[in-house]
Amino acid sequence: MNRRLKLLLTITALMMMLLITGCRSQKEFSVSTFNTNEKQMTKDVLDPFGKANDLNVKGQFAGDSSRIKKSGSSDVIELSQNDAVTLNNAGKLRKLDFKRLKNFSHLSSEQQKLAKKTNSLPYSIDTLVLLYDPKKVNGMDFTSQLWDKGWVNNPAIPDISTTFGPAMVQIASIYSQYRSTSSFVGTGIGLHGKYAFEALKDLGPGTKTYKTIPELNQMFKKGQVDVAVVNGSAVSKILVDNPNLKYVNPNAFDRVANYKMVSILKDSKNVDESYKYLDYRISKNVQEKVAAKDSLNEAPVNQQADVKNNRYLTDKGTSRNAVTVDFEQVNQDLPQWKREWHDIFE
């Protein structure tokens, strides 16, 4: 074999190796997540994670009930706190080894406790705020003003069937303790919500309930409500159509938190990559990136993350120390609560 032929064969072999390497398909990794801000979620979370880990990341975007039914086809799933409790109790989530998550130590003790209880990692905190029409309500500073007919005549609250319905029950319980002690000393739902529902009755006949943010948005546009209890992450959507509204995070509201959670599904085919995704989701850089109002507006849980990018956390970040809704208790009491709720508001 002459020198020229050997050189030609070597070049041909190298080109074939490059072609095979270039055609190698990336491992597929599937994330089941909420069907809001699909474009932004892909741009700010999924694509960067795939690029950093040489993965072809596919997002499965759908409503909660639909995603839960199809949960077996994903590697990881992002859930509401209540759904995380439900799926874990049903044995559909992988038991987590928290030693594999280097950022786990940057969560608060309350958040770590929740993670261990549910085999799910909290990655964003959401608290309730008061959104009000300044033309009809002369400022809102205290939780008690929601119950004061001198301040508010037409309030709206999240329906008991929604994600934040149980949080509203807990806030009513906190208020019931306040009006008997003149201080916000309690945070739980005592006596299975007995005092909470007594307080809810006192909101008055003008009180409306809503099940979706678009429904509440229309209530404000039509002038049907003066003030609403709403989760902070939804405020920006409402302000697009109702820019005249203002919001405040009152004293008791930031003490009750709901979390968005991320879990590894029991049948995940990519466990190592799933742990990387969980750790990535609560990393300082990602938490700060998605906290911005031009991103996902997700309030950080990582204690090292700068909360200033998120407009719905209090200035001192006190929401990080909020008490979580105990959905184990809530789910036991919910059938009775729904009956009592129906008697009051329907």
Q: Are 251 and 175 in contact, with CB atoms under 8 Å apart?
A: no
**Any domain includes 20:** no
The whole-number pLDDT of residue 105 equals 97
Tell whether 133 and 88 lie within a shared domain: no
Domain total for the chain? 2
Q: Are 265 and 120 in contact, with CB atoms under 8 Å apart?
A: no
CATH number, domain containing residue 81: 3.40.190.10
**Any domain includes 63:** yes
Q: Which two tokens stand for residue 293?
A: 């109002």
Give the DSSP letter of residue 96. P
Q: Residue 17, SS3?
A: helix
Tell whether 333 and 198 lie within a shared domain: yes
pLDDT in tens, 193-246: 778 898 999 998 889 999 988 999 999 999 999 999 998 878 877 888 899 999
Return the closest-CA partner of residue 118 out of 301, 264, 299: 264
Burial readout 303-331 (b: 16 or more C-beta within 10 A, e: otherwise): bebebebbbbbbeebebbebebbbbeebe
Q: Picking from 3-7, 109-113, 222-226, 242-246, which range would have the lowest pLDDT averaged per residue?
A: 3-7
Tell whether 233 and 339 lie within a shared domain: yes
Q: Which two tokens stand for residue 288?
A: 């700060």
- In 10 A of CB 20, how many CB atoms? 9
Tell whether 112 and 57 lie within a shared domain: yes
Q: Picking from 89-103, 136-150, 311-325, which range would have the lowest pLDDT averaged per residue?
A: 311-325
Tell whether 105 and 162 lie within a shared domain: no
- Whether the pLDDT of residue 118 is over 70: the answer is yes
**Any domain includes 8:** no
Q: Picking from 12-16, 96-100, 184-188, 290-294, which range would have the lowest pLDDT averaged per residue?
A: 184-188
The Cα–Cα gap between 257 and 155 comes to: 21
Q: What is the mean pLDDT of residues 8-19?
A: 65
Tell whether 245 and 147 lie within a shared domain: yes
Tell whether 110 and 131 lie within a shared domain: no
**Any domain includes 307:** yes
The whole-number pLDDT of residue 316 equals 39
Tell whether 219 and 339 lie within a shared domain: yes
Share of the chain above pLDDT 90, in %: 46
Tell whether 146 and 214 lie within a shared domain: yes
Burial of 128 (0-12, 13-18, 19+ CB in 10 A): buried
Considering the chain, what is the average pLDDT of its residues? 84
Phi and psi dihedrals of 161, rounded to 5?
-80, -10
Q: What is the mean pLDDT of residues 38-50?
A: 96
Placement of tokens 């699909």 in the chain: 38
Domain membership of residue 119 as a residue range: 26-125+258-319
**Any domain includes 209:** yes
> How far, in whole angstroms, is CA 282 from its chain's centroid?
13
The whole-number pLDDT of residue 315 equals 41
The whole-number pLDDT of residue 318 equals 44
The Cα–Cα gap between 93 and 266 comes to: 5
**Any domain includes 276:** yes
Q: Which two tokens stand for residue 277?
A: 């995704």
**Any domain includes 86:** yes
Q: Which two tokens stand for residue 1?
A: 């074999």
More confident call, 130 vs 308:
130
The whole-number pLDDT of residue 143 equals 74
pLDDT in tens, 260-319: 999 999 999 999 999 999 999 999 999 999 988 788 888 899 999 987 766 555 443 445
Q: Are 81 and 51 in contact, with CB atoms under 8 Å apart?
A: no
Placement of tokens 């990559």 in the chain: 273
Longest Cα–Cα distance in the chain = 100
Return the closest-CA partner of residue 230 out of 202, 244, 211, 243: 211
pLDDT in tens, 160-208: 988 889 889 988 888 887 776 655 455 556 555 778 898 999 998 889 9
Tell whether 206 and 335 lie within a shared domain: yes
Q: Picking from 7-16, 54-63, 163-172, 266-275, which range would have the lowest pLDDT averaged per residue?
A: 7-16
Tell whether 152 and 223 lie within a shared domain: yes
Return the closest-CA partner of residue 200 out of 324, 345, 331: 345
**Any domain includes 106:** yes
Tell whether 172 and 236 lie within a shared domain: yes
